[in-house]
């Protein structure tokens, strides 16, 4: 097979992709959503969206200490032009003031989404997401080591588990790097849905890997029997 004959080339390509993905994540970082950082997200849709500078001016004139905030041009699920305003956690009075200031701009301004999560809940969700991914990875290692027990020479059962983890790292780093780029150029944020997607990727990745390993096991047993 060409893959076996040129395995060094394919391994080099895989290593290159992993290193590139790690570099992208290290340089650009991940833009965490309010699910993990806490805060408020206000999305205001318009029939005709005003200039971003006008929206920023309306926010700055409010008698509120919002601190650092993020205002981004966006599009709603229905395709309407909108602004996404990300701020600290707002009280009900502050939310009304911000909503009125933004919806009064442009044509047919309307708040179509408001989400608020406290910093404590955001930190708890972030910790649980990390534990969930870590637990899944450990269960996968144990399962692969158990499923391929008794294979013996020249490949031990724990070697199969280690190789599975390397494949998982590759399959997780690539979409994470893509999200890092989307966060820089499109304002995409890491949220709970992304964590669910990563867990799904882990499931499909280990399924494909086990299919390959099962054929490797068959060939190893067959080779020993022929000897």
- Find the farthest-apart pair of alpha carbons in the chain and give their distance in angstroms, rounded: 84
Do the Cβ atoms of 132 and 199 come closer than 8 Å? yes
**pLDDT bracket for residue 176 (50, 70, 90):** very high
Tokens of 134: 């870590």
Q: Please state the rounded mean pLDDT for residues 109-116.
A: 86
pLDDT confidence band for 178 (50 / 70 / 90): very high
Dihedral (CA of 205, 207, 210, 215) sign? negative
Q: Is the pLDDT of residue 20 over 90?
A: yes
Query: Could you tell me what percent of the chain has a pLDDT over 90?
Result: 10
Determine the Cα–Cα distance for residues 193 and 124; give it in Å rounded to an integer: 16
Mean pLDDT of 34-58: 85
Cα separation of 168 and 209, whole Å? Answer: 9
Alpha carbon distance, N-terminus to C-terminus of the chain:
23
The chain-wide mean pLDDT, for the chain, equals 81
Whole-angstrom Cα distance, residue 41 to residue 29?
Answer: 21
Residues in contact with 41: Cβ distance below 8 Å, sequence separation at least 6, in sequence order: 33, 34, 84, 85, 86, 113, 114, 115, 116
Q: Is the pLDDT of residue 177 over 90?
A: yes
- 114-154 per-position pLDDT tens digit: 887 766 666 777 788 788 878 877 887 777 777 776 665 66
- Compute the half-sphere exposure of residue 169: CA atoms within 13 Å on the CB side of its CA: 14
């Amino acid at each position: 097979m060409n893959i076996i004959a040129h395995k060094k080339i394919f391994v080099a390509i895989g290593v290159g992709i992993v290193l590139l993905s790690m570099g992208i994540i290290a340089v650009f970082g991940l833009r965490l959503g309010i699910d993990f950082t806490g805060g408020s997200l206000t999305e205001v849709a318009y029939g005709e969206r005003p200039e971003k500078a006008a929206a920023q001016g309306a926010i700055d004139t409010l008698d509120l200490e919002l601190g650092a905030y993020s205002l981004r041009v966006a599009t709603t699920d229905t395709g309407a032009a909108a602004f996404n305003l990300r701020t600290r956690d707002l009280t009900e009075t502050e939310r009304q003031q911000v909503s009125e200031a933004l919806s009064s701009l442009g044509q047919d301004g309307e708040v179509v989404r408001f989400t608020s999560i406290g910093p404590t809940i955001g930190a708890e969700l972030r910790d649980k997401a990390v534990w969930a991914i870590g637990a899944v990875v450990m269960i996968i290692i144990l399962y692969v080591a158990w499923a391929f027990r008794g294979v013996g020479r020249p490949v031990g059962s724990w070697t199969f588990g280690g190789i599975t983890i390397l494949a998982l790292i590759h399959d997780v780093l690539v979409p994470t790097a893509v999200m890092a780029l989307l966060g820089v150029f499109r304002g995409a944020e890491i949220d709970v849905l992304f964590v669910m997607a990563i867990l799904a990727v882990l499931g499909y990745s280990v399924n494909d890997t086990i299919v390959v390993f099962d054929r490797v096991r068959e060939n190893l047993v067959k080779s020993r029997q022929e000897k």
